Amino acid sequence: MNTVLITGSSSGFGQATAKAFAQRGWNVVATMRDPTTEHGISSSEHTMIARLDVQDVDSIGTAVAAGIDRFGGIDVVVNNAGYGLMTIFEGVDRTAIQKQFDVNVFGVMDVTRAVLPHFRSRRQGTLINISSGAGIFGAPMASVYSASKFALEGYSEALWYELGALGIKVKLIEPGGAPGTRFMSRSSSEANRTQPLPDYSPFVQSTMEVYAGMASGADADAVSKVVNAIFEAATDKSDRLRYQPTNDISEIVRARRSGSEDQYFSLLRSLFVRSTAA
């Protein structure tokens, strides 16, 4: 029986992924910052709940070791833990930026570092990193979040070469909007801790109106699509790096990756014209 370790399993994609893998007959190490809180995952013979805070390196090593000890090995790691800081860059202090990178980038690297000796010893294993459309294209008020996800994309692509030589696979999941998760509520909470700058108020208002309109077009079943893409990445045995499961950002992704720079920015201007003109 295969075993998957998932970070950030208390809600959102992580929680849904833990449940889906368990239902499909996998051993699951569902990790989260605080296992004592309500997380909707039942501990069982084949599901282990463990504390793992990606900002606490000791907890990472402990959780990985506990998963290996419990199930005899780990086959797949889903680096899901992360959040988005969506606000004006000038209002964000260095501490908030550092935290965004600690969770979205350095946390992924630390989890990867902890599991690689195990994967190397077996000459197999799959790392699945949860990226974002914000790791493909930049957008208003997403400068810090996009920077962290662009870093994750570059890191994962480079790692794909290094680990592929050892039989270890690296995968990227690139979702768009995610109704049904706590992403936007946490983003708003984090943004509320930043410094408001009145000069940006018209820009912020018009940008938020654009995002509200885009949210209404997001895939209602985004969570299930992302979970299915994660399972596909874990089991398809291919060397494919990127999986883009939701439809709401497909036009932008095609323009970014297949069109010219002029075509791409023409599309972005058409989407954000009200905010860029403010």
Active site residues: 131, 145, 149
Number of other CB atoms surrounding residue 128 within 10 Å = 24
User: Which residue type is seen at 104?
Assistant: N
Asked if residue 222 lies in contact with residue 246, where contact means CB atoms within 8 angstroms, the answer is: yes
- The DSSP bridge partners found for residue 171 are 128
144 to 89, 135, 204, 216: CA distances (angstroms): 7, 11, 16, 24
Asked if residue 103 lies in contact with residue 36, where contact means CB atoms within 8 angstroms, the answer is: no
Distance CA 80, CA 132 (A): 11
Residue tagged 């990178």 (tokens): 101
Asked if residue 204 lies in contact with residue 141, where contact means CB atoms within 8 angstroms, the answer is: yes
Tell me which residue of 96, 105, 93 sits closest to 149, measured CA to CA.
105
